Chain A
């Protein structure tokens, strides 16, 4: 059972000071006695633009990394603020991800290196699409893996699948109900007369596309507005950054805590395409550092805010492909191949960097230029779908991928 391990792990969190309090420790104990009827929740974060995974979870024990990146490499861990934060003697976190270190140490953050899509494309658009459809190389897949990950239910919650943002991403499209919510606050028809008239219009229209989406919208509005009525203060003193990612995660946390029936949530964060000046005057400044700063703080705030509720939640991050092993001619990196993924949650066997390291010597690189793939992204997502969400129909969630090799992130 998760509970006992969560309790042990949570004690570790308390020691590291990531927002633990005796009150919730006792609640966690209580949870261990009474199996929770609550559903498991999977939160997927897409980092669009192809994050430079090699500068995020840095292979500081790899000589070639420093040889290939004379201007961009993050210095080996030496305890100074602009050096790698060591994790296991070989890999380490970018210094701007410091807020994630206590969660890693508490055993609730796992990392997979050299992971990605086996499809060779270096097109952002195609690669994102493949990762969202869950079918690399297959362009005609209309629905997304996260939608297929939902199990059939007779009376599903209208907000079981939510994307925070103005658009519904490919990952959430499909025959299960899924809604895009830009913000909980504005998710309604402001004028009461309009609300009832539009509900009738969209409910009765012969326009099947608008009818379906309209019905989903009005069902979801009722559920969301019930949540929105009461003011929200993040728990445990969690401070979400003001950026979009932080605010979106806060709203996801809010829906989770309101028990509205959320099962899968999606949000994305753009701007990772650093062809030029990826790293500033020192590693903790510049474009990549700014994004990582926001990313780390957002995830850590979410973790603190949910407290013991993290037992039900897994967060997984992905980016369409990695970037060239070697820096380019403009203090940046070009489109590459394998990347890094994070998995965070009560059920995650964290505190470990998973995956086989392919090495960075020329003959070890993919097409002699990019980090090679040793884990398929579907191994990671598939494991979360099966072992976290409890959906065993892996062949329907990832068609054509019948024999996944789980990394045992969840045990």
Chain B
């Protein structure tokens, strides 16, 4: 969709006057004005802009560090992330998130989905090794075996009841104590009985204890409730920790961009355990590489094959290989992947393909499927289900008798198609430059794409070196997406994140649940898509909670901010706040002071730096990048 044009148009209409909106089709659209993309930025603006676009916003100290290093050097390093030492702050937080490092097969075994629990019950799969996971699976298996209805919130006769492990007072603290009291109690538990303790807890109490538990205990609590919850939590936490703490910021921005471009929904069936390896092995290694390799990696990933149904697509009129004796199989072609491959992944919706091309491409990809879970669940090509007839894709004849190379030929054709060069360049420019990027910039990027054989790093270099990148037209022109807003706010505030799930939960209510975009389109790259009344209120509320250290899982000392609104605003915005924002904060503080004086409170309390910080984060000034 040409949402960029739509957006600028909308923006234009709002800026000028409502009467400009067309009443009739055929009214001439106002010609987009790109002249602001010719106006240069000051030196300080360039640094701030680079940190807002090639990173998830500055942290305290970043602007100075980039200044010292030199902006060009910093950009060059970001384009070569392997040369940047990773932050120990990040490594420490990623360390407990084990599922992010596992193979697909281990993920399934350790965090079994319900269908695998069935397999365990039938003795087709081994029990998980971890004792807590084992207890969870045993409980499910027992339920399954006996067909007894046992509510999920009751442990199935724990070996040791809670009352034998804890005193009544301790149990009272667990049930109704403060976060801190619970934290202290959990930290004091005997490590040798911790598994028994977790198993003995009722499910709802396990959930309530999550914010008070250490990362290790948290995993056990989730594991005992629903092993798969751990995989989803590891993914979401890992993404947030990386975005907040990684020194390789551009790599994170690009991983987010490319995952979204090749979107897969974590909630769709087997994708619940296929997504971790998908992002790790099929997206992340290629984010600055050749587009053709990225395309190949996604096309052969079990996560994508499952998400867009290609694993089930077989040549029509082929016997079912699993049951060759069955009469004529009802299985056949599925167009889903073929369509999205062209519409979203490569050519773009106006890239010049027809419905017949979709059918032909689907035929080329028959047989691209997933191995059985017992064989590791990876990619495989099944020649028996492949359509061996001749195909015609975008005017190219793919001869009869081919095998997996049919699909490879399609990927070749698509990767070097001029429509793909333009589509990818436009998407990148929309993410990195402006909701409605100037056509000249897109053409320049597309040219590099074509000449470099789809080298993503080269395309980005062209983009950054273009005058449009560091221009007034781009500077602070993009509204932050919910993810960008939350990550940049945490970074700017200098808060320390010890448990990222509350942030992930915020994102779900803001309409951007991580890894859970149902549609293959992914989330919009256009910032203006995210402006609406509900979203603004969410942002204001989050700002107030963050500034005053009221976000669960985060630690922030509000006293570190200055009682002077102008100073605190500068610390968070890395530039001066608008006079409107400062006036509103001053007024609020004056009113607060008046109220406090009436109540004869200590006047020092009125100068509340956390309140100021919260108002700055929720202000219009912080909503753009």
A: which residues have CB within 8 A of B?
48-49, 70-71, 121-126, 129, 135, 138-143, 163, 165-168, 173-175, 179-182, 186-191, 193-194, 196-198, 200-202, 204-214, 216-217, 220-221, 270-271, 273, 275-276, 328-332, 334-335, 367, 395-396, 399-400
The answer to whether A207 touches B620 (Cβ under 8 A) is: yes
Complex formed: what's the CA distance from A143 to B611 in Å?
38
Within the complex, the shortest CB–CB distance from B497 to chain A, in Å, comes to 22
Of A124, A174, A190, A216, which is within 8 A of B541 by CB? A190
In the assembled complex, which residues on chain A have CB atoms less than 8 Å from the CB atom of B587?
197, 200
Instruction: Name 24 interchain pairs, CB-CB below 8 A, sorted by A.
Output: A122-B358, A138-B25, A140-B9, A140-B29, A175-B18, A180-B533, A182-B538, A194-B540, A194-B544, A196-B591, A198-B540, A201-B620, A209-B14, A209-B528, A214-B620, A220-B533, A221-B533, A221-B537, A275-B309, A329-B334, A330-B312, A396-B24, A399-B24, A399-B26
The answer to whether A142 touches B533 (Cβ under 8 A) is: no
Of B25, B521, B585, which is within 8 A of A197 by CB? B585
The answer to whether A139 touches B330 (Cβ under 8 A) is: no
Interface 9-residue window, one of B188-196, B551-559, B576-584: B576-584
Complex formed: what's the CA distance from A117 to B252 in Å?
40
The answer to whether B531 touches A198 (Cβ under 8 A) is: no
In the assembled complex, which residues on chain B have CB atoms less than 8 Å from the CB atom of A194?
540-541, 543-544, 614-615, 618
Within the complex, the shortest CB–CB distance from A92 to chain B, in Å, comes to 24
The answer to whether B23 touches A206 (Cβ under 8 A) is: no
Of A122, A168, A205, A208, which is within 8 A of B14 by CB? A208
Interface 9-residue window, one of B69-77, B137-145, B335-343: B335-343
The 9 A-B residue pairs with the shortest CB-CB distance in the complex, in nearest-first order: A329-B332, A166-B511, A217-B533, A400-B25, A399-B25, A175-B18, A168-B532, A180-B532, A204-B580
In the assembled complex, which residues on chain B have CB atoms less than 8 Å from the CB atom of A71?
330
Complex formed: what's the CA distance from A304 to B592 in Å?
48
CB neighbors of A among B490-534 (8 A): 509-511, 518-521, 528-534
- B624: interface (CB < 8 Å): yes
The answer to whether A271 touches B18 (Cβ under 8 A) is: no
Complex formed: what's the CA distance from A270 to B535 in Å?
20
The answer to whether A140 touches B521 (Cβ under 8 A) is: no
The answer to whether A271 touches B1 (Cβ under 8 A) is: no
Q: For residue B476, which residue of chain A has the nearest CB?
A: A207
Among A124, A140, A217, the one with the most B-chain Cβ atoms within 10 Å of its Cβ is: A140
Of B332, B536, B544, which is within 8 A of A210 by CB? B536
Of A49, A189, A202, A275, which is within 8 A of B519 by CB? A49
- B80: interface (CB < 8 Å): no
- B6: interface (CB < 8 Å): yes
The answer to whether A167 touches B528 (Cβ under 8 A) is: no
Among B11, B534, B535, the one with the most A-chain Cβ atoms within 10 Å of its Cβ is: B534
In the assembled complex, which residues on chain A have CB atoms less than 8 Å from the CB atom of B529?
167
The answer to whether B611 touches A175 (Cβ under 8 A) is: no
- How many CB-defined contacts (below 8 Å) exist between A and B? 223
Within the complex, the shortest CB–CB distance from B244 to chain A, in Å, comes to 22
- B465: interface (CB < 8 Å): no
Interface of B is mostly: helix
Interface of A is mostly: loop
Within the complex, the shortest CB–CB distance from A10 to chain B, in Å, comes to 35
A202-B536, A334-B334 are known; give 15 further A-B pairs, CB within 8 A: A139-B5, A142-B7, A142-B13, A166-B509, A166-B534, A168-B531, A173-B10, A181-B534, A193-B592, A200-B584, A205-B580, A205-B581, A209-B479, A330-B331, A335-B335
The answer to whether B510 touches A166 (Cβ under 8 A) is: yes
- B314: interface (CB < 8 Å): yes
The answer to whether A330 touches B339 (Cβ under 8 A) is: no
Q: For residue B12, which residue of chain A has the nearest CB?
A: A142
- B568: interface (CB < 8 Å): no
Of A139, A165, A189, A205, which is within 8 A of B511 by CB? A165
Within the complex, the shortest CB–CB distance from B521 to chain A, in Å, comes to 5
The answer to whether A204 touches B25 (Cβ under 8 A) is: no
Q: For residue B358, which residue of chain A has the nearest CB?
A: A122
Q: For residue B582, which residue of chain A has the nearest CB?
A: A201
In the assembled complex, which residues on chain A have CB atoms less than 8 Å from the CB atom of B620?
201-202, 205, 207, 210-211, 214
- B15: interface (CB < 8 Å): yes
In the assembled complex, which residues on chain A have CB atoms less than 8 Å from the CB atom of B534?
165-167, 179-182, 187, 217
- B161: interface (CB < 8 Å): no
In the assembled complex, which residues on chain B have CB atoms less than 8 Å from the CB atom of A213?
531-533, 536
The answer to whether A204 touches B334 (Cβ under 8 A) is: no
In the assembled complex, which residues on chain B have CB atoms less than 8 Å from the CB atom of A202?
536, 620
Within the complex, the shortest CB–CB distance from A297 to chain B, in Å, comes to 21
Of A48, A124, A139, which is within 8 A of B2 by CB? A139
The answer to whether B537 touches A189 (Cβ under 8 A) is: yes
Quick one: given A214-B536, A221-B537, are A331 and B330 in contact (CB under 8 Å)? Answer: yes
Within the complex, the shortest CB–CB distance from A337 to chain B, in Å, comes to 11
- B313: interface (CB < 8 Å): yes
In the assembled complex, which residues on chain B have CB atoms less than 8 Å from the CB atom of A138?
25
The answer to whether B10 touches A125 (Cβ under 8 A) is: no
The answer to whether A166 touches B313 (Cβ under 8 A) is: no
Q: For residue B11, which residue of chain A has the nearest CB?
A: A209
Q: For residue A330, which residue of chain B has the nearest CB?
A: B312
In the assembled complex, which residues on chain B have CB atoms less than 8 Å from the CB atom of A168?
531-533
- B94: interface (CB < 8 Å): no
- B349: interface (CB < 8 Å): yes
Within the complex, the shortest CB–CB distance from A400 to chain B, in Å, comes to 4
In the assembled complex, which residues on chain B have CB atoms less than 8 Å from the CB atom of A186?
509, 537
- B236: interface (CB < 8 Å): no
Q: For residue B10, which residue of chain A has the nearest CB?
A: A142
Complex formed: what's the CA distance from A140 to B4 in Å?
9
In the assembled complex, which residues on chain A have CB atoms less than 8 Å from the CB atom of B532?
163, 166-168, 179-180, 213
CB neighbors of A among B575-603 (8 A): 578, 580-581, 583-585, 587-588, 591-592
The answer to whether A367 touches B581 (Cβ under 8 A) is: no
Complex formed: what's the CA distance from A329 to B336 in Å?
12
Q: For residue A216, which residue of chain B has the nearest CB?
A: B533
Q: For residue A129, which residue of chain B has the nearest CB?
A: B1
Complex formed: what's the CA distance from A92 to B585 in Å?
62
Within the complex, the shortest CB–CB distance from B162 to chain A, in Å, comes to 30
Of B611, B618, B624, which is within 8 A of A207 by CB? B624
- B619: interface (CB < 8 Å): yes
Within the complex, the shortest CB–CB distance from A332 to chain B, in Å, comes to 7
Complex formed: what's the CA distance from A210 to B355 in Å?
41
- B90: interface (CB < 8 Å): no
In the assembled complex, which residues on chain B have CB atoms less than 8 Å from the CB atom of A48?
519
The answer to whether A208 touches B15 (Cβ under 8 A) is: yes
The answer to whether B9 touches A142 (Cβ under 8 A) is: yes
Complex formed: what's the CA distance from A331 to B529 in Å?
35
